[in-house]
Amino acid sequence: MGWIRDRMEELEPRVQSFVELAQRLRKSRSWPRTERIKETSLATYLGKFDSGEALEWLDQRPEVRHALSEVLEMTQEEVDEQLTELQPTRPSGGARVRLRDVPVRSLDLRRDALPPGIPAQVRDPSTWPLWWQAPSGSGRTLVGQWLEARGLAVFLQAQTWAEAERQLPERGAVFIKLASADGVPQRAAMASELKICVATEAAAPRVVEHEAERGARPLRELPESPVAWRQSPLAWHPVSSPEVRAWLHELVEWVGERITVDGFVEEDCLRWLETPEVLARIDTVGTALGLIALFATFARRGDSSGALAKARSGADVARLFLRMRMQQAEEVELSQEGLWKRLQIMGRRMLLESEVPWFEARPLDAWHALAHSRPDEADLEWLRELERQGLKVDRASLEKLRGRLPPDAFRVVRALRELDLLRERQPQRYSFHPPWVLAGLLEQCILETLEQGPHVWGAVLLRQEHAATVFEALLERCRSNDFALVRGVLQSPDLRSPEWVAALEATFRVLGLLVLEGKPVPDELRLGALRVQRALVVPDAAGLPRPRIAYEGSPTRESLLVDRRIWYAALLALSEVLPPGSDLSLDSWCTKPSAEARRWLVYMASYRSTQERRMPERWLMPLLLLGGRLLEGLGPLATPSSAIPLLLQPERLLRLLQQSPLSLSDVNQSVSWHALGAMLPEYARRRGVDWEQCVRRIWTAWLASGASELPQFLHPWEDHARIFWHFLPPEAVEVLASKRYRSLLGEEDACRFFRKEHWDAFVRVWTQQTEPWGSEPLPVVWEQIPPEHVRQAIRAGRPDSHDGAIRKELWQRLPEVFCEEIDALFRQGQWDKALAQAGCAPAAYIPRMLASAKAALEHRGTPPPPSVIQWLHHMIAQRAPDWHKAWTLLEYLMPPAPI
């Protein structure tokens, strides 16, 4: 029995059950009247308290603890002492555990395998010291319990390294789940008989000591510890959880083997998890298990009309997840509908008020502030009633405290913690988990702000964190021909409001993208956005326009929609077609109008760096075509491609390819090949130019140059190589097969572009050249050469005796080709050509060679050359397979002389 049962036995009268104890608790004077919990649920909790479980629930309710001490006739200090003793420094819940959410049988940690998705090194203390960078939900607690249940390691949970260090044993393996990585040594300094694995969200500490300083610090500089420390040369070995796709299938199978509900179909579940919108939510094993549980709860075999099937957005799925958690909870004082409404309030506050990114941990006070919706007058009225009955109440203090921690906010945050949706990620700092639930809620809140006017959703843009999501929602609306939001901005100009300006510039970008995509945009909206935007631009030092609202520090800057290139691209697209006499031309946007200024505007729409995300082709190709149309009015361009705006390069290249004579050096420098090379054939097609003819001119120019150094843009290892090598003339193969360029065929795998006519040319060169090929590193060539061309080479006497390595490689790849061709050569009496190939036959094919030779000898009836005798003699000497047949043939050809 536990301490509560022991105390129940000692009371007068004796308490018979936890239900009776719950009844006494609820009737006690100290019981908080705001605590609404059923007696049966309270009895369940009391049973858990007795065995040291669910103590967090009690920690959050000091009034209940006070009532418990009163009913058990113990002092508050005695109850606190009992509860403290029940809170172990490491888990001691036994070998069986139940997983949160997913309906599977309890795990026997001594026998059951851990769920897939946990690094193998973490499970094997022989690989430690280890630093497992694992976010919340990665299974850190489960791994620690599993290791301890199997006797593989001691499991410690600690807020800080200093706290964990005080609990370390003297020897053995220790798995430490750390809330904070502050103070962890750079190296795995440890007692000589300790192996440690740290599991925390932070990255492993970087070693900044020089090699000469390694181990130089005296022992007294190490942190004090009950363990005898030494400085170890071992750095923490970092490991992270594997990529989701590597273990998701296995995890579904693992759940399927243990699931306790009917109707769960592994294939259907996996198919749902692998849909892009669901897969994007999975970051850890815990998140995946929660989603599998969601599927198991709300999707059944053949059910196409269930709750999960009806979910259309991230918010819908998040709401289902909340419903599932509340169904599993013992008792939550808020209803599902009520809690969801409070979450919506929190989401709106996060969007419009919070300075902390939504995914970061924050103190409970911050969560209380986000959850506060209104003063709870009912609670205050209850206190006033008690005051009238004689309770002394400090009204001033009460009002002050109510402002800091409103009762309604306290209930919401407590409910989120009870549902394990709010977790302590670092000491005294909490975050929403799983994060996709909050992300789905925020997406809905963003969509709702779009209906509240440009000043509201413009404020979300200014806060930057969710700017990309607003842009995407606005773009999707306009793509579906819904321009209500754009009209809402243009109908109520407020040029002095940063929120309104942010909304206007977002619509400006979106309308420009629609024009690039070929979608119809009403002229009044296009011209109206141009006119208002021009009134808002800020000139730079060169007099070029810039948008008034920039997103340089945006946490979502990886989204191209907030990139400044999109604003300049929109300017080019929206201003290309203007009414006659319009004053909105590109020159009107520049303080110093000129052809150079216009070139710079094109350059700003083109600018890219290797770190930035590439522009999608659905926008880039129309921009390139637009640049081609603008080229005439931009004046002469500089020569190096780096000085030519990207949008002008394809058109300039096409014009260059029409010139005669063609300069390969100019072509090489005319285009940023890594950025545009693959798009050039499609660009040429849209401009009505035959790309194949352009490429053939390039190859002809190279051959006419005496096959000088191959220009870099023609190298076969370039990403765009196919646009040139697909049109490779066969006569060029004769040059490429020469000794000078042969490495291109082997090391650079140029032969992957070869068709029949190219291999014909290659075999022609191979059989005609007299120098050996065996010294060239051409494994790719011999792996790809078609069987028919190997037959041609064999008939021509290749590979010869100087190409033994090639012959061996081809024998292993195409033994049937060699056997058939050798047999034909034997029958034709071309013994020397046949034996040149048969001499390298693998042992398994020698009996077949001997049979072919025997059949040819019997067919022709003419004596063979001496080389056949030498070959048979060699087979006998080597004791080759079926060498007795070689003996018989040798005896047939050279019968023993009379003695």
**Of 521, 437, 505, nearest to 470 (Cα)?**
505
Q: How far is CA 114 from the centre of its chain?
A: 23
Find tokens 């022609």 and name the residue: 764
Output the CA torsion sign for 773, 774, 776, 781: positive
User: Phi, psi (5° rounding) for residue 558?
Assistant: -65, -15
CB of 32 closer than 8 Å to CB of 64: yes
Cα 26 to Cα 64: distance, rounded to the nearest angstrom: 9
Strand partners, 423: 431
pLDDT score recorded for residue 398? 57
pLDDT score recorded for residue 316? 92
Cα 237 to Cα 443: distance, rounded to the nearest angstrom: 38
pLDDT score recorded for residue 103? 86
E strand or H helix at 597, and its extent?
A: helix 595-606
Single-letter residue type at 798: R
pLDDT score recorded for residue 680? 96
pLDDT score recorded for residue 90? 42
The residues, any chain, with a CB within 8 Å of residue 566's CB and separated by 6 or more, are 509, 512, 513, 560
Specify the pairing of strand 545-546 against strand 538-539. Answer: antiparallel
Per this entry, what is the length of the chain? 899
pLDDT score recorded for residue 644? 82
Q: How far is CA 726 from CA 183, 260, 315, 720, 758, in A?
A: 59, 57, 49, 11, 11
CB of 817 closer than 8 Å to CB of 825: no
**Of 496, 571, 561, 482, nearest to 526 (Cα)?**
571
Find tokens 């990403």 and name the residue: 719
Cα 203 to Cα 733: distance, rounded to the nearest angstrom: 53
| Peptide bond just before 129 cis, omega within 30 deg | yes
Reduce the DSSP state of residue 729 to 3 states and report it: coil
Helices in 51-110 by DSSP H: which ranges? 55-59, 62-71, 76-85
CB of 181 closer than 8 Å to CB of 134: no
Q: How far is CA 207 from the centre of its chain?
A: 27
| Peptide bond just before 799 cis, omega within 30 deg | yes
pLDDT score recorded for residue 610? 43
pLDDT along the chain (899 residues), means of 10: 78 85 87 79 78 71 85 84 62 68 87 92 91 92 93 91 88 91 74 84 72 41 38 72 93 92 89 92 93 88 71 90 85 82 90 85 88 59 62 63 62 87 85 91 92 94 89 94 96 94 97 96 96 96 93 65 91 94 93 90 75 75 94 69 81 91 90 92 96 95 85 92 95 85 78 94 87 69 93 91 85 94 93 88 91 87 84 90 88 81
Q: How far is CA 806 from CA 62, 747, 766, in A?
A: 83, 15, 12
Cα 512 to Cα 253: distance, rounded to the nearest angstrom: 48
pLDDT score recorded for residue 396? 66
pLDDT score recorded for residue 102? 87
Q: What is the pLDDT of residues 507-558, one digit of tens each?
A: 999 999 999 999 999 999 999 999 999 999 999 999 999 999 988 765 554 6
pLDDT score recorded for residue 82? 77
Specify the pairing of strand 237-240 against strand 422-426. Answer: unpaired
